[in-house]
Amino acid sequence: MSEHKHSNRLINETSPYLLQHAHNPVDWYAWGDEALTRAKAEDKPILLSIGYSACHWCHVMEHESFENDSIARLMNENYINIKVDREERPDLDAIYMEAVQLMGGSGGWPLNVFLNSDREPFYGGTYFPPQDRQGLPGFERVLTTVADAYKNKKSQVQGTVDQVVGYLNRATESISDSVNISTNTLTNAYVSLKNAFDTRNGGFGMAPKFPQPMALEFLLRYWHRTADIQALAMVENSLSKMAEGGIYDQIGGGFHRYSVDAKWLVPHFEKMLYDNALLSGIYIHAYQATGNELYKRIACETLDWVVREMTDSNGGFYSTQDADSEGVEGKYYVWSSDEIIEVLGDDDGALFSKHFGVTGYGNFEGQNILNVVTSADSLALEFNIESAEVIDRIERSKRKLLEPRSQRIAPHRDEKILASWNGLMLASFAEGAMAFGRQDYLEIATNNARFLTKAMYKDGRLSHSFKDERSSAQGFLQDYAFLVDGLIRLYQASFDEHWLSMAIKLAGEMVARFWDESGKSFFDTDEGQYDLLVRPKNMYDNAVPSGASMAVYVLLYLSRFTDNSDYEAIAVAAIKQLLKDIAHYPLGFGYWLCDVDFYLSQRKEIVLAGKCDDVRTKGFVDIISKHYMPNMVQASVDPANTSLEIALLKDREMIGDMPTVYICENFTCKRPVTDSAELESMLA
């Protein structure tokens, strides 16, 4: 292994992932003209290595191979070596991930792809051990074999390139749009999800198990649409089991990435901003739908974790926390039985241990991952105390344990700020502010929106990433779409028309930059993004909604807000391209299903006219916010202080200086309401 500490070109980057490789003996480049020009000039193949800072196996491969002098020498002599942070360049990641899968590999990170000097892929894979091991080819052998093929088997290499690039180009072509959008799509998707549902543990499929918040959002909407009690039961079962499992950080709040088992016990311990944005969102909506206090607690604890550990002083939200600390996965989060007793004492320690399944022998490598195994009611019977006292003591114990845990060596935090993921988190804080009446959440959401629209939006362009006072990579479709969604929700929570105006402006720019009129779909990248092999269109909802599915949602929403029929036409055309896939593969199209549900819903609008600082207005906001109304377009207006020329707000006056609510459904308006009891009964 290399002992020297020389640095390579990555030392000048801001990405924490790239900086982690800045002292490798590999002659790394960041993606850009310098590397691509050199590859062409020397006719050398490119080794493109893509990962991210919270990725455990990325760290392993770095340590085993990229810090190894003899492997580095092979790389430097035979290749132009390029390192990419997938969170900074999701466009490159999407193109080359698909290429590796087309060549028979599996998806995942680290992603290592071999390209010709025209950036076209001809071989690739994910993790390679340094030497042959457990059926995996060693990286040293791969490097040698690929370099030899590139020099001596040109026609074979070109054959692979032609096949893969041909497919990548075809993947962006459109299909017929003659199909009709109907509720059959929703019904078929529901049946498919029901068949994949794990009735014992909640969630879908077996291990490893991901939370799938978008599928749960669709099921909650499906219950709202059809009153099918089984759809709600699937949501409740999943949310309750996840909240009690080890995938949820029982002490600090927030969710880990996924569970390695089927019952949510042992997580992969990294924490991602986007998971927690989407999960806090579904817990907020489930609370509105059911009134279950557990969902409110989990949502608030998750948002509070973001405030405490993931918020920059300028208002941006950081990206990820690693799984490892001190080189050991999960070390920061697990406990021994003795530690618990030492901090809490015998009485509270015994109660806490019983609740969270803490034992002397542990449930994870001799330590304990906290997960709820005994309910508060059962503990009340066993310890002969009231349930309320059990809950109080457990909550107090959690706060006590957070203090010594925060003294441990914390996992590495990736402090770059991504516009897309921030947009998702902004939406959750705005919705949390409304649903729970939390002014502090509204302030956090407002600070975040101010930061994103000032520091990351310059000269009519949104940036994708920001770190160390530098923004990098021009915005992708996801950045625009997710931020527009967050700004719409902030407007609803704050009454501040500035955020709605900003959302409408960004939505217009999004359509101009990314909509492909001939293909009736959205590109992921701006047409000015010249350094790509193809201009990608990724339609799948993976860990986050696809840029396209969120773009469709905000355009449908804004079309109802502004009566812009062009926006609805674009959204409908995009949905029609995917209807077959949406129904048959619901776990890959969860947000698209929410789009279809919204499009097919009866047109419902609610406008609150009132003075922002009037306590009666606030009372109406609270009544509206506690209801789950996923397809309701909501607007607020202070008639004395508005400059918005929007059809929905036209002639919405206060009656007799009273806050007034206007409710319209399917192009028909009910009588304006000025009485809170009457409003409550109309919404119910």
Q: List, for residues 544-593, the tens digit of each pLDDT value.
A: 999 999 999 999 999 988 888 999 999 999 999 999 889 889 999 999 99
The pLDDT-based confidence of 288 (bands split at 50, 70, 90) is very high
As a whole number, mean pLDDT of residues 51-71 equals 91
* Domain range summary for the chain, segments of one domain joined by +: 9-170, 183-326+414-600, 333-407, 604-683
What is 9-170's CATH number, 3.40.50.620, 3.90.226.10, 3.60.150.10, 3.40.30.10? 3.40.30.10
CA distance 268 to 246: 10
Q: What percent of the chain has pLDDT over 70?
A: 98
* Structural contact between residues 13 and 30, judged by C-beta atoms closer than 8 angstroms: yes
pLDDT band for 171, please (50, 70, 90 cuts).
low
Q: Confidence class of residue 174 from pLDDT cuts 50, 70 and 90?
A: low
What is the CA 682 to chain-centroid distance, rounded?
35
Q: Between residues 203 and 133, which one has the greater pLDDT? A: 203
Q: Region 23-45: what's the mean pLDDT? A: 95
Sign of CA dihedral 526, 527, 528, 534: positive
**Separation CA 667–CA 630 (nearest Å):** 18
Dist CA 12 CA 218 (whole Å)? 44
Q: What is the pTM of this model?
A: 0.90
pLDDT value at residue 257: 94
Asked if the model's pLDDT at residue 102 lies above 90, the reply is no
114: β partners? 47, 123
Question: What pLDDT score does 664 carry?
Answer: 87
pLDDT of 3 higher than 80: no
416 secondary structure, DSSP code: -
Q: In angstroms, rounded to a whole number, what is the distance separating the alpha carbons of residues 343 and 403?
A: 10
Q: Are 276 and 255 in contact (CB under 8 A)?
A: yes
Q: State the pLDDT at residue 1.
A: 47
- Confidence tier at 177 by pLDDT (50, 70, 90): low
CATH class of domain segment(s) 604-683: alpha beta
Q: What is the CATH number of domain 183-326+414-600?
A: 1.50.10.10
Check for a shared fold between 9-170 and 333-407.
no
Task: Please give the structure tokens belonging to residue 336.
Answer: 């021994």
pLDDT reported for residue 407: 96
Element (H, E) at 83: strand 80-85
pLDDT category at 2 given cuts 50, 70, 90 is: very low
- 87 contacts 13 by C-beta, under 8 angstroms: no
The reported pLDDT for the residue numbered 175 is: 60
Q: Does position 173 have pLDDT exceeding 70, yes or no?
A: no
Check pLDDT > 50 for residue 297: yes
Name beta bridge partners: 320: 272, 414
Are the C-beta atoms of 72 and 28 separated by less than 8 Å?
no
Q: For residue range 425-460, what is the model confidence (pLDDT) as tens digits?
A: 999 999 999 999 999 999 999 999 999 999 999 988
CA–CA separation, 211 and 197 (whole Å):
12
Per-residue pLDDT for 628 more than 60? Answer: yes
pLDDT of residue 577: 92
Mean pLDDT across the chain, nearest whole number?
A: 93
Average pLDDT over residues 328-357: 96
Instruction: Identify the band that residue 258 occupies on the pLDDT scale cut at 50, 70 and 90.
Output: very high
Please provide the distance, in angstroms rounded to a whole number, between the alpha carbons at the two ends of the chain. 67
Chain centroid to CA 21: how far?
Answer: 26
Both tokens assigned to 248: 């949820």
pLDDT at 612: 83
As assigned by CATH, the class of the 333-407 domain is mainly alpha
Q: Does residue 371 surpass a pLDDT of 80?
A: yes
Q: Which has the higher per-residue pLDDT, 265 or 460?
A: 265
- Does the structure show a pLDDT above 80 at 172? no
Gap between the Cα atoms of 284 and 309, Å rounded? 21
